[in-house]
Each structure stands twice: as C-alpha cells, then as structure tokens.
Amino acid sequence: YNPNLPIYQSTNLPIYQSTNLPIYQSTNIPIYQSTNLPIYQHSNLPTKEP
C-alpha cells in the first residue's frame, strides 16, 4: 500500500468520532463566560493610555 498519510487513513480521526467534542459540550466554553475577557476590561489597554 502507499503511505500517503496513513495516519489519517488508519485512524480516520477517531478522536473526534469517539469523543464527539465532549470538551465543548461539557464545559460549554466556561473560560470565556467565567472570565468574560477580564484581561481587556482590567487592563483596558493601559499601554495606549498615558
């Protein structure tokens, strides 16, 4: 057989099929909700401010 990306052919991306992206479903992106981008709010781009 020809290698030609055997990794994809062999695994056929089972990671996505098996997990079905449970990370996003489970956490539902709490990182953005929890922090609500506090980095920008707190810093408010102080670099440009005098």
- Could you tell me the pLDDT band of residue 4, with boundaries at 50, 70 and 90? low
Tell me: pLDDT of 48 over 50.
Answer: yes
pLDDT tens-place string over residues 23-43: 544 444 455 444 445 554 444
Contacts by 26-30, CB closer than 8 A, 24 or more apart: none
Average pLDDT over residues 1-10: 55
The b/e string for 7-41 (b: 16+ C-beta within 10 A; e otherwise) is eeeeeeeeeeeeeeeeeeeeeeeeeeeeeeeeeee
